[in-house]
Structure 1
């Protein structure tokens, strides 16, 4: 049980840092991000939207005010990371793929172990042991 708590907090910290660093990069280097997204085939208007949802996703998971909202944030991050990975691979930008892979692994560990570390259980994660 204790190992699952550590796994939860370490993986949740990693995914939170990944998303906060990404949002910070998007805020401080907006023009560069627009060019990079354009090279991957995405429109530039997504930048403000991505900044917002990245910050709100981290807030929903860390605060966990509402378990369904937290689970929705997990699913949004899953699809975002999956699309990021596929976009980098499709554009032959293999250097951009590792953060998405690390994010997917950390996200899966965080989601699956959340019930071991949180008082209010998610019906979709592994049961408390």
Structure 2
């Protein structure tokens, strides 16, 4: 039961983080372009990242396909990791805080997804733990 709550709370917070970020990309397009330029990234990434963030949340919440959901988790992992490292690389560690929080939420969501979902992911950590306790 705790795993179910952990999954849904962490997934909801992670989804809100990503959807709020996508909304900021739309509402503050010029500011976001400048922020990405300050990190050394091209401005054309703004619309791409906006769409990808929304699709990643949709893939995880809808779980139309387990492999697609796991791919969305992987994409989020790399995005959050690279985002945090980019902020640290330009000596702005405060900007890495949302990425660090996102990584914690992502790990919690991914690790507990099999406890809350009907169709298990073969890649989730919780499945390996469950099978270890059964054997």
TM-score, length of structure 1 as denominator length: 0.97
Q: Distance in 2 between matches of 1:124 and 1:72?
A: 10
Look up the SS of the partner of 2:42 in the other structure.
coil
Pairwise mapping of residues 33-44 of structure 1 onto structure 2 (< 5 A)? Answer: 33-44=32-43
The offset of 1:93, in angstroms, is: 1.1
Structure 2 segments unaligned to the other structure (5+ residues): 131-135
Q: Distance in 2 between matches of 1:47 and 1:97?
A: 18
Q: Distance in 1 between matches of 2:71 and 2:60?
A: 9
Which residue matches 2:26?
27
Which residue matches 2:44?
45
Deviations along 1:8-51, one digit per CA (max 9) or x if unpaired, are 00100111000000000000000000000000000000000000
Aligned residues: 128
Higher relative contact order (CA 8 A, sep 6+): 1
Pairwise mapping of residues 1-129 of structure 1 onto structure 2 (< 5 A)? Answer: 2-125=1-124, 126-127=126-127, 129=130
The offset of 1:89, in angstroms, is: 0.2
TM-score, length of structure 2 as denominator length: 0.93
